[in-house]
Amino acid sequence: MAKIIKKKFFEIDLPLIGGKFEALANSIEDLNNKTVKIDMTRQLKGKGVEVVFNVKVAEGKAIGSPKTLTLISSFIKHMLHTGIDYVEDSITAETKDSIVIIKPFLITRKKVSRAVRRTLRNSAKNWLIDYLKTKNDFEVFNDILSNQLQKPLSMKLKKTYPLAICEIRIFAVKKAIIAKTEEKK
């Protein structure tokens, strides 16, 4: 007769949101390299955001590091209406830790010409690339959740054309930079 192993709840520490999450598993080692998706809508007062954490087990403790942050599509659809334009872009950039993909999402107050949309897109791209060079992944995730990245970006783009919304639709860690740190040693 096969032995039945009962699953238990194990705590995963999530330093980004300053809390804990419980996951069901046979042992804490089973949680290693698993992903956990958490809806942050209630914590962010209605701003629909999902964060995917990658779980690592070290010394008997499970710690979740952020992997992807996504603005929920229903939140975006709620903001769109007639008489406005939106601007999207996909940027691959480097932080201090890794190569990331960041997708800004801008909504103008009225319909604008293609030249204005192009200028907004290019200004946002240049500003974000410069901003990301100075930060590590954890700081960027924290800045997006606390609106510390979107506000200065919106103020910069306001000089081109006033925006109704300036958000980061997707922020994802693509791969860690290991070669540069080894070359410097």
With respect to residue 2, please indicate whether it lies within any of the assigned structural domains: no
Claim to verify: residue 91 and residue 175 sit in the same structural domain = yes
Mean pLDDT of 56-60: 88
Rounded Cα distance between 5 and 103, Å, is 44
Please write down the HEC assignment for all residues of 120-137.
Answer: HHHHHHHHHHHHHHCCCH
Mean pLDDT of 38-46: 82
User: Residue 66 to residues 52, 69, 92, 100, 177: CA-CA distances in angstroms?
Assistant: 6, 8, 18, 12, 16
Claim to verify: residue 98 and residue 162 sit in the same structural domain = yes
pLDDT at 185 over 80: no
pLDDT at 137 over 50: yes
pTM of the full structure? 0.85
Q: Output the domain CATH number for residue 85.
A: 3.30.479.30
Rounded Cα distance between 172 and 160, Å, is 27
Claim to verify: residue 101 and residue 135 sit in the same structural domain = yes
pLDDT digit string (tens) for 91-122?
999 999 899 999 999 999 999 999 999 999 99
Contacts 24+ apart (CB under 8 A), 18-27: 21/53, 21/64, 23/55, 23/62
Mean pLDDT of 16-36: 88
Claim to verify: residue 65 and residue 84 sit in the same structural domain = no
Claim to verify: residue 65 and residue 86 sit in the same structural domain = no
Q: CB under 8 Å to 151, separation ≥6 — which residues?
A: 166
Report pLDDT for 95.
Answer: 93
Claim to verify: residue 27 and residue 106 sit in the same structural domain = no
Domain count, the chain: 2
Claim to verify: residue 118 and residue 157 sit in the same structural domain = yes
